[in-house]
Amino acid sequence: GAGVSQSPSNKVTEKGKDVELRCDPISGHTALYWYRQSLGQGLEFLIYFQGNSAPDKSGLPSDRFSAERTGGSVSTLTIQRTQQEDSAVYLCASSLVVRANYGYTFGSGTRLTVV
């Protein structure tokens, strides 16, 4: 696609429910990144993919968070048993390759609210 697409754009869920957030990167981009943006906290790195592999998942906050990427394209971030502190904007970005100097293209994010 022309840009990075994320869905849904907004998600309200009840505490304890599972949620799935989707990211569709730019076609041909091998690198895909997930960040979390909490109010006043800046962007927190979660995980990145090179193809379908995740060499660095050091930013995932707990084992309730997981992510996968299939076909070198779409990625899904899953949060199990959501908690109120999971409320944030989840941003996805893609890059042609895993090199910071190539620059990232960000999606518009998914705003997750846990009530």
Partner 1 sequence: AQSVTQPDIHITVSEGASLELRCNYSYGATPYLFWYVQSPGQGLQLLLKYFSGDTLVQGIKGFEAEFKRSQSSFNLRKPSVHWSDAAEYFCAVGAGSGGYNKLIFGAGTRLAVHP
Residues in contact with partner 1 by the rule CB under 8 A = 4, 33, 35, 40-45, 48, 55-56, 91, 93, 98-101, 103-104, 106-109
Looking at beta carbons only, is 35 or 114 nearer to partner 1? 35
Evaluate whether 56 touches 67 at the Cβ level (below 8 Å): no
Beta carbon of residue 41, minimum distance to partner 1 (angstroms, whole number):
6
Judged by beta carbon, residue 35 or residue 65, the one nearer partner 1 is 35
- Sign, CA torsion 51/54/55/59: positive
CA distance 66 to 26: 22
Task: Give the Cα separation of 34 and 77 in Å (integer).
Answer: 8
Choice between 50 and 66, CB closer to partner 1:
50
User: How is residue 103 written in tokens?
Assistant: 């620059």
Q: In the complex, what is the shortest distance from the CB of residue 86 to partner 1, in angstroms, rounded to a whole number?
A: 19
How many CB atoms within 10 Å of residue 102? 12
Q: How far is the CB of 22 from partner 1 (least distance, A)?
A: 16
